[in-house]
Chains A and B, each alone.
Chain A
Amino acid sequence: AAVSEEDGGGEESKDVDWSPLFCLDREWTFINHGAFGATLRPAMKAVTSWSYRMEEQPLRFLDRELLPLLVRVTRRLAKFVGADVTDLVLMPNATTALNTVFHSLRVEPEDRALRLDITYGSVKKMMAEHCVHVDEVRVAAKLPVKDAQSILDAVEKQLESRQYKYAVFDYIASNTALLLPVADLVALCHKHNVLVVIDGAHALGAVPLDLNALGADYFVANAHKWLAAPKGCAFMWVHPKHQATVRPLVISHGFGRGFLSNYIWQGLRDHAPFLALLTVLRFWERVGLDRLRRDCRDLLLRAARMLAKRWDTELLASDEEI
């Protein structure tokens, strides 16, 4: 059971063939969505549509239509992730957003930053350039990783040993594919007066988000990964108390007129990926993400267990919950 594009679902999603809804060439066995995502076909159509509309009247579109549309996209996205629209800005990708966060986090030479050994490679680079003293909590030194509590215990131990200015955690780590207990990590860090940066590159779409409830200091995420949006669309969320200090890395006309204004225009680029987010969000809302996530997770666990058994090996984590 193939699905048509009009059909948002209705059947048990595991009995249904979703592949026509993606642009992927099905001759390949594709089990690496996490790397660079894969775009939904209706979203690609939307991109093309916006592209043609823009090209026929570039002045009318860019001068008069674009900014209100971007605000509309921001509003929809904010609602989807449980955030206030004034706390969220669209970015080309999580990499840009993270760089912006680090650029804004003032550190003195004696300040310390904390991360895990499983933090994403390029984030380790960013942190190394940003802060002289970066400490690493080793959660994957001995495999398999036990469970969420063992990670929390290791972090707590480190936080009690010295004072940190900020800590960075991947919501879902890249290399190890572990789901970290971010809510508890945020609480733990705030208990010790440590600012928290959550790299949610993989989180958007994969897990339900409620950024207001999470209460981190900074949160970034990509839309092109598990939300299957076109590439070039991501967001940065900043707690209101830090917004005045967050300075864009690409300054242009909007600079100096407030948080959203600082980021809404980063020079002329192709805005179609942002606009297609309206199509993407509408799609997932019709399909019903909760059920889909459950079914994907079922498949994940069945597949992982099957491979471990066939290869006579084990999962990286003993606890399937992480």
Chain B
Amino acid sequence: MKKTGEGYQGFGSFMTPSVDDMLDNKVPMYLPAEFLPAVPQDAVKKCSEFGTDSCRQLWPVCASTKTTFVNHGAFGVTPFPSLTAFHQVRQSVEAEPLAFFDRTLFYTMVNAIKRLSTVVNCKPKELSLVPNCTFGLNAVLNSLLDKDSTVLLLDITYGSIKKIALGSNIVWAHIPLTCANAPDKIVDIVRDVLQANEGKVKLAVFDHITSNTALLMPVQELTELCHSFGVPVLVDGAHALFATPLNIEKINADFYVGNCHKWFSCPRGCGFLWVKSKWHNQIKNPIKSHGSGSGFSSDFMWWGNTDYTPALMVPYMVDWWDAVGWQSARDYCNKLLHNATTLLCKSWNVSRVVTNPSSLCCCMALVALPKHTQGKKMTSVQSKLMQDNLFHVHHIQVPVKCIDDNLYVRISCMVYNNLEDYKTLANAVLNLLPELPDVFGTHADNGQNSSKL
């Protein structure tokens, strides 16, 4: 029984110490035993048998043998053991909500931040967990830009960034798909835009791995370039965590945002925002609450009363990939990507978009659809039609993109995928060839140049 008290140490009326003290290791961390279930070792073992049925059984998208899922990049997937743990943690919170929010939450959030900071190589006090990447992007852009600011964007950047930046002036760097094989060209293009707009650009935003074109951008070089022009950099690493060996300090940008639910496969509802210390006074949480005014970590730590379980699952997934092996899992995915793109290109008689996907792509890549009508321009009408047919008729989940008037599938390769998945895709597209003249055009050879598998 305590007979004297020291009053509230942290913000609001939470009973835990200040989160800065926790992050600085000035107070002992209290993490309730068994609050977060342990990663089951037998599941880890099965997962490590990449692409086999043993592994596939762990992933909900493989639960039905009727569907073929090659779109992990869209919304991520979390494995069954994680889903079980996720709901267990929720139950624990709801069994004692006061004990949890008042006395446990911030210990678990700080622990999650510390674990993640080790994985992505950054200082814990520069890292915060946010509901998702979109939130982080909005926080940075809201804080820095106004209607008179100019922001530099790539035209291949993610769609919603264009919307967030609408209130400001945008200068575009046009990146044609032909740059896919020459990252130096991307740097050159951006240099030209910076020179043409010298002194005007307040912030540059680059996708670490683009969504529509599935390309790994040379973010370290682009950051160096922008800094030489005095332009700060925000890197949108929505896809990066797991897909690439992320090293935030090495990239040396000013801001970095990411998602935990995509390749990292954490349950949805958590992303991260990294802000270099020198910007901490300027970057504010657009959602103000108890933690506001108490520094960067406090400001972003409390999202208001909501479900924090996705964030609490971050250490679980770090343990998961630590046990499975980050690099061996990545190697499998990228090797499969190489083999899958080879197979598809051969089957559809198309050339590679990226000649060496293993170095310029991470876990996902574009493959051109076969086309027999030269010069016909494709639009999103055809890409949606194609995607709908693949889904409804062939039960395949793969996005079809329209880029520079041509159609591509963007295949994802994750630890549960194997080459059979892409054979199914190859054949499905060939089956649709004669059925969709709007997409493929009419052709005399009836697909003789393409090989069914």
Q: Which residues of A come within 8 Å of B, CB atoms?
A: 22-25, 28, 30, 32, 35-39, 44, 47-48, 51-52, 55-60, 62, 92-96, 99, 103, 121-122, 125-126, 129, 222, 224, 230-232, 249-253, 255-256, 266-270, 273
Contacts and interface: CB of A to CB of B under 8 A. Distances in A.
Number of contact residues on B: which range applies?
35 or more
A251 B289 contact: no
A232 B94 contact: no
Scoring B64, B98, B164 by chain A CB atoms within 10 A of each residue's CB, the highest score goes to B98
B124 interface: no
Contacts of B271: 267
A52 B60 contact: yes
B159 interface: yes
A30 B90 CA distance: 18
A268 B75 contact: yes
Given A35-B97, A35-B98, A269 B160 contact: no
Contacts of A51: 83, 86-87, 267
Contact of A122 (B78, B259, B288): B288
B303 A23 contact: no
Given A24-B95, A38-B94, A39-B94, A103 B286 contact: yes
B81 to A, nearest CB: 12
B12 interface: yes
Contacts of B366: none
Interface string B66-100: 01010100111110000100110011001111110
Contacts of B134: 250, 252, 266-268
B63 A25 contact: no
Given A59-B397, A92-B306, A251-B164, A28 B96 contact: yes
Nearest to A22: B94
Contacts of B78: 55
B286 A99 contact: yes
Contact of A52 (B83, B159, B164, B290): B83
Contact of B307 (A32, A48, A121, A273): A273
B163 A256 contact: yes
Contacts of A249: 138, 142, 286-287
Contact of A231 (B267, B268, B293, B305): B305
A174 B315 CA distance: 34
A24 B132 CA distance: 29
Contacts of A62: 74-75
B145 to A, nearest CB: 12
30 contacts: A23-B91, A28-B99, A35-B97, A37-B305, A47-B90, A51-B83, A51-B86, A52-B83, A57-B67, A57-B397, A59-B71, A60-B391, A92-B306, A95-B287, A95-B303, A99-B288, A122-B12, A126-B288, A126-B289, A224-B305, A232-B306, A251-B160, A251-B164, A253-B159, A255-B163, A266-B134, A267-B131, A269-B268, A270-B309, A273-B307
B60 A37 contact: no
B304 interface: yes
Given A125-B288, A252-B163, A270-B307, A37 B97 contact: yes
